Amino acid sequence: SQNQNYQITAWCQRMMREHIHEGSLCIDATMGNGNDTQFLCTQAGRNGSVLAFDIQPAALEHTKERLAHALPYCNYQLILDSHERLDAYAAPESADCIAFNLGYLPGGDHTLATKPGSTLTALEKSLSLLKKDGLLCICIYSGGDTGFAERDAVLSWLQTLDSRKYLVLLTQYYNRPNNPPIPAFVIRL
Ligand code: SAM
């Protein structure tokens, strides 16, 4: 079994921790059951704020309950809306960290997975919301019923980013079979 510390969410959280401080504004673009939302809320602290998006009402219900138990404060807003509209909720250059966990919710409805078109719109808008030195963290999944279209679209998009403005890092589980997930990071320079 794989060491928990090297699973994709742990790996991404390790990177995100470096970019979040007490008082940060963070965005979880794909709330799901709220694992990353809880992490962002904890890192941003009582004086920070977290905006979390999902299109499934069940995601908001699960996350609301989870956070109420986990946190002694409420520094979050759970938003039932597509991440394509995240720029309607946050000012330009205001976020220290924006997280995307693509694909479908395990145990949930696979047809409600993220889709290439809306994901790219949301990623593009995310760039304009990042502060200098802010981090955009993307967990990319492929294979199975997710297919490869979204992975390929995101990887192509990452390659187009201006290297004078953004640092793009990809991590690979290089010796792992069966289309392992790809943690990708964009830092606004
Ligand atoms: N990080 C989450 C967690 O801790 O449980 C898991 C996220 S799951 C892989 C992807 C989520 O993205 C699903 O809950 C799905 O409903 C959501 N989603 C799909 N399309 C979306 C969209 N356009 N805007 C916001 N969320 C979307």
**Protein residue whose Cα sits closest to atom 27 of ligand 1:** 54
Collapsing DSSP states into helix, strand and coil, what is residue 155?
helix
**Protein residue whose Cα sits closest to atom 24 of ligand 1:** 82
Indicate which CATH number applies to the domain containing 1: 3.40.50.150
In a domain? residue 83? yes
In a domain? residue 158? no
Assembly ipTM: 0.98
In a domain? residue 49? yes
In a domain? residue 119? no
Question: Using a 6 Å CB cutoff, which residues line ligand 1?
Answer: 30, 32-36, 53-56, 59, 82-84, 101, 103-105, 112, 114, 118
In a domain? residue 79? yes
Separation between Cα atoms, residue 40 and residue 44, nearest integer Å? 6
Q: Quick one: which atom of ligand 1 is closest to the CA of 37?
A: 4
In a domain? residue 37? yes
Taking alpha carbons only, the member of 63, 135, 137, 147 closest to residue 103 is 147
- Position 145 scores a pLDDT of 81
In a domain? residue 20? yes
Which residues contact residue 66 at a Cβ distance below 8 angstroms, ignoring those fewer than 6 apart?
A: 33, 34, 37, 38
Best mutation site among 114, 150, 182 for ligand 1, i.e. most ligand atoms within 8 A of its Cβ? 114
| CA of 49 relative to ligand 1 center, distance in Å | 19
Collapsing DSSP states into helix, strand and coil, what is residue 38?
helix
Task: State the residue range of the domain holding 21.
Answer: 1-91+102-114+124-141
Separation between Cα atoms, residue 65 and residue 69, nearest integer Å? 6
Separation between Cα atoms, residue 128 and residue 105, nearest integer Å? 27
| CA of 106 relative to ligand 1 center, distance in Å | 10
pLDDT tens for the 189 residues of the chain, in order: 458 889 999 999 999 999 999 999 999 999 999 999 999 999 999 999 999 999 999 999 999 999 999 999 999 999 999 999 999 999 999 999 999 999 998 888 889 999 999 999 999 999 999 999 999 999 999 998 888 999 999 999 999 999 999 999 999 999 999 999 999 999 999
In a domain? residue 32? yes
**Protein residue whose Cα sits closest to atom 20 of ligand 1:** 114
- Position 2 scores a pLDDT of 59
pLDDT tens-digit readout, 110-152: 899 999 999 999 999 999 999 999 999 999 999 988 889 999 9
Q: What's the number of domains the chain is made of?
A: 1
